Structure 1
Amino acid sequence: MMQHQLAVQARFRPETLERVLRVIRHRGFHICAMNMAPGLNTENINIELTVASPRPVELLFSQLSKLVDVDRVEIQQPTSQQIRA
């Protein structure tokens, strides 16, 4: 499986993290690492994710971008590191 790093900026609402995690799971990605911190203002949060899957990360990128509370999604750095499941 390939690992990918994503940065998500979203509105700080109770259901936002739950929606992001549900999309990741439904698209067949596994979370390897996650870090969440408040944004510059109190209305936003920054979520940094490391996910793994044999599927293309662009699939996850497009689905996360469609979420209502998500303002921005970036693929940080494509890694060629493969992990064994």
Structure 2
Amino acid sequence: MKSLLIIQGHNSPEMLERLLRVVRHRGFSVQNLHAETSENEQTLHLTLTVYSEREISLLTKQLEKIFGITKVATLSQESMIKASA
């Protein structure tokens, strides 16, 4: 199932590397990644589309534990379809 994650965290290369490592280790594949920094360049806003047959909660619980990540929000494939209709 495809899921859309909206992630906010500190702008550092280490945080992004940790995030992608957790995504891979939890059995999810990245379909799309968009990143923007805030005006002061201290905060990174990520939109990440992932795919897996696993429950998305397995990934989000681990992402919330990563040092530097301050917020994780999820939209499932069903929510994305309803939003676009």
With structure 1 as the length reference, what TM-score do the two structures score?
0.87
One-letter amino acid matched to 2:77: T
Give the helix-richer structure, 1 or 2.
2
Residue type of the alignment partner of 2:55: P
TM superposition outliers: structure 1 runs of 4+ over 2 Å: none
| Partner SS state of residue 54, structure 2 | coil
Q: TM-score, normalised by structure 2?
A: 0.87
Question: Which residue type is aligned with residue 57 of structure 1?
Answer: I
Gaps in structure 1 of 5+ consecutive residues: none
Q: Give the match for residue 17 of structure 1.
A: 16
Distance in 1 (CA, whole Å) between partners of 2:18 and 2:44 is 14
Count of aligned pairs: 79
Deviation at residue 38 of structure 1 after TM alignment: 0.5
Aligned-CA RMSD value: 1.3
